[in-house]
Homo-oligomer: A and B are copies of this chain.
Amino acid sequence: MTDPRLTALARSLPATVPFVGPEAQERARGRPFAARIGANENVFGPSPRAIAAMRDAAAEIWRYGDPESHDLRHALARHHGVPPDCIVVGEGIDGLLGYLVRLIVAPGDAVVTSAGAYPTFGYHVAGYGGRLLTVPYARDHEDPQALIAASRAAGAKLTYLANPDNPMGTWHDAETILAAIAAVPSGGLLVLDEAYVEFAPEGTAPPLDPSDPRVIRLRTFSKAYGMAGARVGYAIGPAALIAAFERVRNHFGMNRAAQAGALAALEDAPWLAHVCDEVARARGRIARIAAETGLTAIPSAANFVAVDCGGDGALARRVLVELAAQDIFVRMPFVAPQDRAIRISCGTEADLDRLAAALPAALKRARATD
């Protein structure tokens, strides 16, 4: 039953949600997963300095967090060499995407993304009444030229592009991204989601240039910094756009301990390097496990690997179910043809030992019920 007092827009929204959490699956299964490698979490964890900072902040949690996230924002500004007023800190990239869409997209406004790209962006666009147009992936890559072309054709307010991409892990080099930025139509904005960029090769992220009004960059402490549960993301963009977030954001919405943890994490460059090494090693291991099972790992610049199961979405979904039966939590792309793959997050050695042991039989059973 829908509450009749909802706005017409709210009534029109689906009650479904983009992602079901692994905890909900565990409750439905009646037992926990042994390998949690489905949500692109960073199993190598946050910097010990970040953990210590959060532990220290626990007793002080009676204080509201600084609504300006001053110390973190200024540290990020120094880290990236951009002015502090070109950065806004928010409740993860998800939260920032919500604010951004709210600021820019009026009901009926066109927005462009890729078919099968990060669904939470589409969730927000629908939530504010935007008109979401999609272009297909090109050989498992988001297609910047096609995105911009569609954006120009539709007069889109926003164009979403993740680099590296989620769920496929593929990426473009900085030159390709710069060409896309240069082609953004007048009045438009490229939403460049760089949640995974710390894992990517040098030359993936274009230089940060917040004087460019055509692009806003989204970064997070959820992935390489290992703090998904803390909810700390940030956006870097032109000062006038960044200032607009003050008009709509939940000013006291940032957890105090999370701010302290993010600040400490940012200052621990060796830990970040260590995590990136571990992730690269795990990506290689996932690719070898795939190859040993006769499957193809799609090259990835993120902390997960999409593994082509060699069939259609139904086959991949059965593989997922079979892995879950062996207590391994993984996810898969939502849209064809990318949904022929399963998406495996970089796990610990133990996680991937379990995957290596389980995958051949899971695939066999999945094929048997074809």
Partner-B contacts on A (CB < 8 A): 1-10, 13-15, 17-21, 23-24, 27, 36, 39, 41-46, 50-51, 54-55, 57-68, 70, 91-92, 94-95, 98, 102-106, 109, 127, 157, 187-189, 213, 222, 226-231, 238-241, 243-244, 246-248, 250-258, 261
Contacts and interface: CB of A to CB of B under 8 A. Distances in A.
A201 to B, nearest CB: 23
A229 B255 contact: yes
Given A19-B67, A67-B19, A247-B14, A253 B231 contact: yes
Q: Taking each of A36, A105, A256, which has the highest tally of chain B beta carbons within 10 Å of its own beta carbon?
A: A256
Given A8-B106, A10-B103, A229-B257, A51 B59 contact: yes
Copies per assembly: 2
Q: Is the interface of A mostly helix, strand, loop or mixed?
A: loop
A62 B258 contact: no
Nearest to A225: B62
B24 A68 contact: yes
A146 B23 CA distance: 46
A70 B104 CA distance: 33
A253 B91 contact: yes
Given A68-B23, A257-B54, A106 B248 contact: no
A21 B253 CA distance: 12
Nearest to A231: B255
A102 B253 CA distance: 17
B104 A157 contact: no
Given A229-B257, A247-B14, A255-B230, A58 B68 contact: no
7 contacts: A7-B106, A21-B68, A50-B61, A51-B58, A58-B257, A63-B228, A63-B229
Given A15-B247, A252-B92, A58 B55 contact: yes
Contacts of A240: 1-3
A33 B307 CA distance: 56
A180 to B, nearest CB: 18
Contacts of A68: 21, 23-24
Given A54-B257, A229-B61, A127 B248 contact: yes
A23 B66 contact: yes
A242 to B, nearest CB: 9
Closest 7 CB pairs of A and B: A229-B256, A54-B58, A13-B247, A23-B66, A7-B106, A62-B226, A61-B229
B39 A61 contact: no
Contacts of A58: 51, 54-55, 58, 257, 261
Which of A17, A60, A248, A255 is most buried by chain B, counting CB atoms within 10 A of its CB? A255
Contacts of A64: 21, 39, 41, 222, 228-229
A105 to B, nearest CB: 7
Given A15-B243, A46-B62, 6 more contacts: A19-B67, A21-B66, A45-B62, A55-B58, A92-B252, A95-B253
